[in-house]
Each structure stands twice: as structure tokens, then as C-alpha cells.
Structure 1
């Protein structure tokens, strides 16, 4: 299989990239940045000045110094022959060991010797041991999955010049990976966890996430079951992971039995309870009979409720409970539980911070040449975008805030914005109610959960809503972000267009949500009417809306407002048999907006309009996600996968778990022979088709379902 091209970032001063990496070792939090490969080049003739070039890489075998030295050696063969003016004289490979918090380094002199050592957080060099290499290998595989792109290109654009390889390409390398994971499994909590997990545990950490991602991507469920069965003998908590893999492999009866036995031993294990609730919720959504659905949701509610008691400070347990209430259509309880979710500041992946390069060379591999892809960047730079579309804050949500926003949009999709506002006013104290309801805020609403208070750093339920709104990552912004600013005159000017729907209720738009009670204002308005006992009783049964949730309502209003204007304008243009024109990037943003609001048909429509003007990996990935949720359309799925695989290779990524999963799912549904024929039948250059054939061959190597024939 052809390897991706090698990008080159030229240093202004020799070794400055390595020095910068050494300085950053003290601030790395979790899995660390991608591996750094630094090369020293010298002129072939004469004694000219040496130059330093580097690139980043993931997925290279980091099990020993020899394997890393071999990677550097392959780079020397990629240098052009007769036309070359420089040659590689030295190479340094840096690979972070997140378990011991060390940077493992292999220095290669060409021709000459290989030297391996590690650098600690103080920058001191010491000799590496076999145990350290085992840790380094495991961390490198996990990073390869963590830093892999989902096909949309969002991850690729974050770090310039990263070559991505598949770290597990055969059953032999799988055995090595799972063996390392087994040996180091109970140290996995040291690696940290996803942004939605407050405290890493043995069963909730980056190692577990990487293992589950691997089994889901490759379909190697038997290997996962075997691994977790062995680990379960050492710790009964592993039952939750074993059951998850059993559910992935459609062995539901055995999965339920494992959970049952596990909960008998650990009745308050929140991960097992959450796994059980998730399983029941999924079964309820696919239930044919209403009675079946109701019974499964009742059981899921009990499990989810118990998991919040077992782990009151974890976001996932509260979010699951809110999802169950949404499925039950108990909207008031769903909002109440969502309001109780403890929110965490989003921590992004460790990324390298490098000095300003002197020069950047981003070569194009001939095998990735495709006209529609090559013209993408040039067209993107010439596009005009409506500022109102660029200012949609929900697109920046990550972690717990993104999950909570998805729950809110699911409710909106089911009951509508107006009904959601009514339920919101039934559950939470509104500003006008608070101003006339009494002077003492303590008599207005119940105290929020202790965990939510501790997580936010203050008592958000008794704090001002009209003050600073939480940012998408959970950090408070020092600048004023008043909820009343949403829908202000300035924003109206941005959004107003010819024949646009008015954003006022009753005229085809959406109603702006009123501000929740501001507990920071202790005085009532002058001349307020005396408060009746009935009013006080009603207020005593309401809660104060958390500041972050009130901000989410305002952001949702912004999304719905822009969406409503877009759909109304389109309807008006169609009624007049006129073409509705937007730039490709505007269509891309509108597709993302519709997908975020859970309007799948409208999202696909916008994505197709974008692709009609230019190639967009983000739009194509959105269409592929929609196609994967439905049966059939095999030819269109194959076409989307081929183009996304080619675009990934164009930007040095030879591995995407999501695209590998898409190919494996196609093979399971259609059969390996048919998928191979569909790929070959596509009217695209053969060198492009070979890139996707490689993904199909990988499924055959792993004996995926559908490849036997």
C-alpha cells in the first residue's frame, strides 16, 4: 500500500522544534501530542548550512528503538535521486510516554549509530527500559485512534503536517496491542479520560475508550470479549466493559447475564447501571409495541436514577437520566434533570505548539490526484459568508455542553420551540415572577445538587442569569454576555434579508426566550403588587435555571432563528420559481445547523447543495452519516467513502476509524465481493480506487463478516 506523502516544515533555527517540545513536557495533561520527527539536512555538495525540517506522525510502531529508527530510515529512501540537492544526515524521533510522563527519543545518525533515551519533564536525559517501551507502544496506539480524523477533516486542520497510519493492520499486531493493554490495563486511569468524565477510573479512561473504539471499528468483538473476560477475574467492575462488547457483537442475552451477575456483586457500580440503562433505552426506541416501550423505559428509568445516586458528580449519569425522561416524553422532569447535570470545562487534546516556521512544504502524492478535490482549497478562499452564519455559537460546543445541547435540541425537535418555552416557564422561575414573587431568593427555589455547585465553582442556581454566560467549554467569560443581547437590534440587522421571515412569534419565526430569574438582584420593582400566598406556593415548587442552561436556551434560539429564516426564504424563492443562492461554505454551515437541530432531510439537502458547487469533506461526511442510518444506497455510500479516503490521503492521513467502520458496515450489508465491484465500477482513476481497496483488504485481513465469500 502506498504511504502518504511527507510534509516538511522548515525551522528558522536548527532544533528549535525539539527544544519547544521539551519545554512543553511539563504542561502535557493526557495522551500527549503526536510524535515528532525531526530531520537534519545538509547539502550533497559543499559545506553549506544545515537545515532542520520536521513533521508529526501517529500510528508508527513504537514498541522499540529499532522500529522508530526504521521509520526514519524509510524517509531517506523517499528523497529524490538525481535531482536532490540535500541529504538527510540525522534524524530524531520523539514519542510521548503518557503513563510515565516521559518523552522517548531515538537519535539516528546516517550513516552511523542509533541511540535511544528518554527526556523527563526537567529536560534530563536517561536510559530507557523495556517497561518504558511497552508503555510507549500502548500510548502510541491510543494516540493514533485519538488523533485520527472522522472523515470530515476537522481534526486534520487542527495540526499542520501530520502523517497518520493505522497502528493495527493484522492479527499479529492486534495480539501485541491487546497484550500490552492487558498488562497495563489497571494503570489506564493515569492517562485521564474523556471530557465528559469527571474522575478517571479503571473502567472510564482513555485506554478503555481506545479499546472500545478499536473493537467497534474493526468488529473484532471476539478478541474484546476474550480480553475483558480475563480482566474480569481480577476486578468485577470489568463486567460493564465485557457487556458493552457483547452488546456490540449482538450477543445481548449474554451481555444482560454479565450485567446481572456483576450488579449482584457491585450493586452501586455506576458504569454498570449506566450501561444497563443505555441498553434498555436503545431497546425501547426499537420496540414495536407501546407496552413494550413503556416497560423498557420504566426499567431504564430505575437504572439511570440509581446511577445518579451512585455517581452524583458524573455528567454521564445525569445526562442518561435526562435522555430517559425525554424518551418517556416527561418534558418537565427532563428539563429539571438536565438543569442538575454537573458541567465540566472542556479539555482539548494535547497539541504541539511550535515556533513560526521559515517555510512549509506540503507535497501532493500523485496517487491522490482528483480534480474535484484539488480545486477545493482554491475555491474556498474566494467564498463570501454571511456573518450571521459565522457567529452561531453552538458549533463551538464540546464535551458536556455539546451533549446537553443535543438533549435540548432533541426535545425541541419533538415538541417544538413554543412548547419548550412553556415547559421551561413551568419548571424554572422566570424573571418577572421573581421580581414580583418576593425579596428572599432562598424562598424561591430549591437548592441545586451539591455536585453541580462544586463543579461550576459557585452556586449557579442562586447566581445571576443575566450576568456572564458560560462559554462552550465551561469557562466563564469576563466580558458581558447578557441573555437580553440575543435578538438585539444589531443581530436583527445582520439576519434581516429581503423576504425573510420575521423572528417574532406569530410571523413565521421563533419567539425569543425570556430571561430566567436573576437571584443576584435583591430588590423588586417599585410599585410591585403584593405577593399572594398562591404565587409564593407556585414559586416554591420551581427551580432557578442554571446559568449555563439559560445560555443554552439563548444559543438554541439563535440557531432556530437562522434556521427559520433560511427555510422561509427557500420556500418563498421556490414559490416564485427562483433559484436560492448561497456560497458553498454557507451551504456547509447551514447543513451543520440543520444536523445540529436534528432536521436530517434539510441537512442532506444543504450538504448536497454545497457539493454541487465544490468538494467539501465536511458536507460529504455529513451525507455519509445520513446514508449510514438508512438501508440501501450502497453505490452512493461507496462514492462518498472513495472521495473521503482520497481527501484524507491528500492530507497525509492513511487511517480514519470512521471510514474503516463505514467500509466494514458496507461489506457486512452487501458482501465483500459486491463492495469490491462497486468500488471498481466507479468512474474514477484506478490509483484513487486502490486507496479504498486497501480499506476493504483490511476488513478481509480481520475476517470481518461478509468477507468470507
Structure 2
């Protein structure tokens, strides 16, 4: 159950094409069994491990808790979840951090704030609650309160990455970019750990017959083949997509900073807080030359005193030179050495910015000349991913739409779904959900937490009857209508908001 909830939508599973992903949540009875199992096995949760951003699995941070939170979000069983957590909190007060998180998922903010406050009063060094409270205060615009909570969270768990990352975000929102860079440089990094992938050997051959239901011709029928030699292979070799674990999260923090201030300002702040290689070498040369000059004078190597006398600077020049050297030395003392991994992330960011800048310049030029700007669908996808990483969402969506027009890609459609959800564009959200349901059904993937959540939100906003009517009006007589009706019935079974309309 945990593996189904956490990894059904995970890209790391995309290479495993030899199993069928079944829906583990088909009846209300199964949800009751999940709650019973979660409560009985809760304190054994750390044995399952945790995400790579967490240093050590705890009873609050592990795969079992992550699956529980996703399960509650999918089913909407918030009251039952809080009841289970209340019983567990009597045994260990650390559970209050999970309780507050579930309450926030359910938009029950008043009770969540009370739980966070009581929990921190009972244990002032509970970094999970402090980090959650910092996130909540930042979302409400109380950055000074958020900063205080984040600093306390870092002091409570200095070896954990997530509290440091939260502190970087808060400094970025406050416009204190130098402190954000210094904090990012101090983040405890961990090497990428392999996600809990099932060790299934790749089959020699696979056969996936087309299902007879859930057909959406524009997704299943690829009648527009493209030449595999026409795309720009350099775009597929950019280093950013290869980042894993905390390094990928740190890169997201760095791109958030550069999205606020730009590359030039980022370099300026970087030189203000970090010792650059040229500065370090220059300082070493000055110290070395001063040492050599002192030694020569002491040993009487200056053979011609009269020549040396002519070259000696005046007292004012000597004083000015000494003051400059002292100022440089003081600046060097206040700066820190940039970690090698962060220095590497600056280079990764430069590559993304270079590709993005060239692409946008070309695109504007072609538009000004009223010429068609042609790219391979893989190029559009790669350029969209670059823009997405750099937080240029509108430009990314434009590139993704160009890619989809040429050839359907579920990876691109997932990004477009995320974009439409951010914009609150319900019409396009529904279109993306239907297409991804069809794609998943084509490859025998019958369970997707992300799609269930997206469909649940649509039903809550517009009602199940209206959503069903829209699907039928646009996609009938394709059999995808029957597949979507089945998905809507599942929401009705779990009494989702909007299904009683």
C-alpha cells in the first residue's frame, strides 16, 4: 500500500513496464483496514526508511507517514485520521506535528495553530513543529515570525536539510539575498539515496495489447512520426536534470533567488559573501610578496641602498597602501569559502540561463520577422523544462504546448497540469486530467494519486454532475467517457465534496 501511494506517480518507476498498477483503494472497507494497520504499525515506521532529504528516519519523518498523509488527501477521511493520531499522540507528543499537518490539509487552520502552539510549548525543540509553523507564518505574510521559527528549527536540528531549506526560502522572501546565500552554503548535504524501487529484472520482451475501453484516439494513435536525428542533443545533456536528493532541492532554492534578482545581481551578492578564487590567490600573492620583502631587507640583500632609497614610497603612500591592505584583509575575514557543491550549482545554473537566453532571443527574432519558429518536439520539451526550472512558468507552458501539438508526451502533460492548477484554469485542468487518465489506462496504470487529487478538486469546485457533463460533451463517443465516469463513481463512494450535487 505504501509503495502504491508514494511511487505510482514517481518518474523513477517509468522504466518499469512489466507490471500492472492496480487501485488499492476501491472500497471504504479498505480504508478502514489502512487506518487499523497504520495505528498498529506506526512506531515501526522508521524501519521503512525515509526520503533522501531527511538525514535519519524518525516516527514523524518516514515513508509510512508520507503514505498516510497522501492517503488522507486522496480519500478525504480527515476526521478518522485525526482520531487515529489523537490516540497515538497520547503515547508520543511528536505525533502532534502530523496532526497539525493533517488539519492544515483539511483547511482547519484554527485547530492546527492551536496544536502547533501547544506542541511547541510542551517541546520547544520539536523541529518538525517549528518548521511547519515557519511555513504557515510565511504563507500568512508574517515573515518576521516565520524567521524566528525557522532559526529555532535549525538550532534544534542542525544536521537536517529541510529546516535549513526553509530558512533559505524565508530569507529570499524577505529580500535578504546575501543571508540566503550564506544559509544555502551552510545546508547539510547528503548523497542521493536510491528510492525504494522493487528489484524486478527487465523482461526480454513485453506486450501491451491496446485495451478496448478508455480509448482516446488523439493520445493512443501516434500518426505524426518525427525524425530522431532532427533534435538538438545538447539540450538533453544539460546537467540540471541529473541532480538528485538535497542537491536538486538546493538548486531549486538557487533558482528561486535568481528569479527575484537576476544573474548579474546574483553574481554581485555572491562576490560579497564568498571568497572567490581570484581573491584567494591575490591574497596569497600579497602575503608571499610581503614575506619575501621582509626577508630580503632583513638579510641585507638590497646591495645598493641609494637605489632602494629612490624607490621607497613616501610615508603617505605607505600609510595609504597599508590601509588598503587592511581593508582587503578585513573583507576577506568577513567572507566565507563557497562550498564546492554550491560552486558547481552556479555553473549548472549558468548553463540553464545560457540556453534559456539564447532560445528567447531566437524566438523573439523569428516573431519580429514574422517567421515560423520550428523545433523538434523533444527540443520544445527540453526548453520547457529549462524555463520551468528557472521559474518562467508562462514561457515553459508555451514550449510544452508546442511539444504537445507535435507529439503527445505524458511527462509534458504532467507539467501542464501543474501549471494549470497553479493558474486555477479548471477547463484546461479537466482536459489534462482526461488525457492523462487515457494515457495511464493505455499502459495498465489504474492508480494515480495526483490524478485522483486533481479530479477531486475539480469536483469540489464545480460538482460531479457538471464535470461529467463537460467530459461527455467534449469526448463522446470515445470510450474515455466511461473510464472517467468510473473515476467519478469512486469519488462518490468516498463521499467526496461535490459528489452529492
TM-score, length-scaled by structure 1: 0.64
Q: Indicate which of 534, 537, 540 corresponds to 2:327.
A: 534
* Aligned: 1:238 with 2:62: no
Q: Deviations over 1:575-618 (max 9, x none)?
A: 00000000111111111111111001001100110111111112
In the other structure, the counterpart of 1:147 is: 7
Q: Deviations over 1:417-448 (max 9, x none)?
A: 1101100110101111111123799xxxxxxx
How far apart are the structure 2 equivalents of 1:591 and 1:334?
27
Structure of greater relative contact order (alpha carbons < 8 Å, 6+ residues apart): 2
How far apart are the structure 1 equivalents of 2:407 and 2:213?
21
How far apart are the structure 2 equivalents of 1:432 and 1:573?
40
* 8 A Cα contact 1:161 1:362, kept in partner: no
SS of corresponding position for 2:9? coil
* 8 A Cα contact 1:383 1:583, kept in partner: no
1:214-225 equivalences in 2 (<5 Å) = 214-225=71-82
In the other structure, the counterpart of 2:430 is: 638
Q: Indicate which of 675, 686, 694 corresponds to 2:467.
A: 675
1:239-388 equivalences in 2 (<5 Å) = 239-284=96-141, 296-353=142-199, 357-376=203-222, 379=225, 382=228, 384-388=230-234
- Structure 1 310/377 Cα, relative in aligned 2: closer, same or farther at 3 Å? farther
How far apart are the structure 1 equivalents of 2:103 and 2:478?
39
* 8 A Cα contact 2:192 2:246, kept in partner: yes
Q: Indicate which of 568, 580, 583 corresponds to 2:361.
A: 568
1:421-500 equivalences in 2 (<5 Å) = 421-438=267-284
1:511-530 equivalences in 2 (<5 Å) = none
* Aligned: 1:597 with 2:355: no
* 8 A Cα contact 2:214 2:482, kept in partner: no
Cα distance, 1:258 vs structure 2: 0.5
Q: Indicate which of 440, 446, 457 corresponds to 1:648.
A: 440
Cα distance, 1:383 vs structure 2: 5.9
How far apart are the structure 2 equivalents of 1:389 and 1:275?
38
SS of corresponding position for 2:475? coil
Cα distance, 1:376 vs structure 2: 4.1
Cα distance, 1:357 vs structure 2: 3.8
How far apart are the structure 2 equivalents of 1:155 and 1:366?
28
1:82-121 equivalences in 2 (<5 Å) = none
How far apart are the structure 1 equivalents of 2:68 and 2:210?
33
Q: Deviations over 1:288-327 (max 9, x none)?
A: xxxxxxxx11111011001111111000010011111011
In the other structure, the counterpart of 2:373 is: 580
- Structure 1 297/570 Cα, relative in aligned 2: closer, same or farther at 3 Å? same
SS of corresponding position for 1:655? coil
* Aligned: 1:201 with 2:47: no
Q: Indicate which of 691, 694, 698 corresponds to 2:483.
A: 691
How far apart are the structure 2 equivalents of 1:404 and 1:329?
18
* Aligned: 1:707 with 2:496: no
Give structure 1 stretches of 5+ with no counterpart.
1-140, 285-295, 442-528
Q: Indicate which of 40, 46, 60 corresponds to 1:183.
A: 40
SS of corresponding position for 2:20? strand
Q: Deviations over 1:382-436 (max 9, x none)?
A: 4632122011111122221111111111111111111011001101011111111
- Structure 1 281/576 Cα, relative in aligned 2: closer, same or farther at 3 Å? same
Give structure 2 stretches of 5+ with no counterpart.
288-320
* 8 A Cα contact 1:635 1:678, kept in partner: no
In the other structure, the counterpart of 2:255 is: 409
In the other structure, the counterpart of 2:310 is: none
In the other structure, the counterpart of 2:451 is: 659
1:123-142 equivalences in 2 (<5 Å) = 141-142=1-2
* 8 A Cα contact 1:165 1:655, kept in partner: yes
How far apart are the structure 1 equivalents of 2:172 and 2:239?
24
* 8 A Cα contact 1:314 1:342, kept in partner: yes
Cα distance, 1:265 vs structure 2: 1.1
How far apart are the structure 2 equivalents of 1:264 and 1:238?
14
How far apart are the structure 2 equivalents of 1:349 and 1:381?
34
In the other structure, the counterpart of 2:313 is: none
Cα distance, 1:624 vs structure 2: 1.1
- Structure 1 323/380 Cα, relative in aligned 2: closer, same or farther at 3 Å? farther
Number of residue pairs matched by the alignment = 467
How far apart are the structure 2 equivalents of 1:268 and 1:277?
14
- RMSD of aligned Cα (Å): 2.0
How far apart are the structure 1 equivalents of 2:476 and 2:393?
29
How far apart are the structure 2 equivalents of 1:643 and 1:324?
37
SS of corresponding position for 1:367? coil
Query: Which shifted more, 655-664 or 353-362?
Result: 353-362
Cα distance, 1:380 vs structure 2: 6.1
Q: Which structure dedicates a bigger proportion of its chain to helix?
A: 2
1:553-564 equivalences in 2 (<5 Å) = 553-564=346-357
- Structure 1 355/406 Cα, relative in aligned 2: closer, same or farther at 3 Å? closer
1:617-628 equivalences in 2 (<5 Å) = 617-628=410-421
Cα distance, 1:166 vs structure 2: 1.8
How far apart are the structure 1 equivalents of 2:271 and 2:469?
57
In the other structure, the counterpart of 1:517 is: none
How far apart are the structure 2 equivalents of 1:225 and 1:438?
61
* 8 A Cα contact 1:641 1:692, kept in partner: no
Cα distance, 1:155 vs structure 2: 4.4
Q: Deviations over 1:323-365 (max 9, x none)?
A: 1101111000000000000111112323345556443222221
SS of corresponding position for 1:704? coil
How far apart are the structure 2 equivalents of 1:217 and 1:321?
30
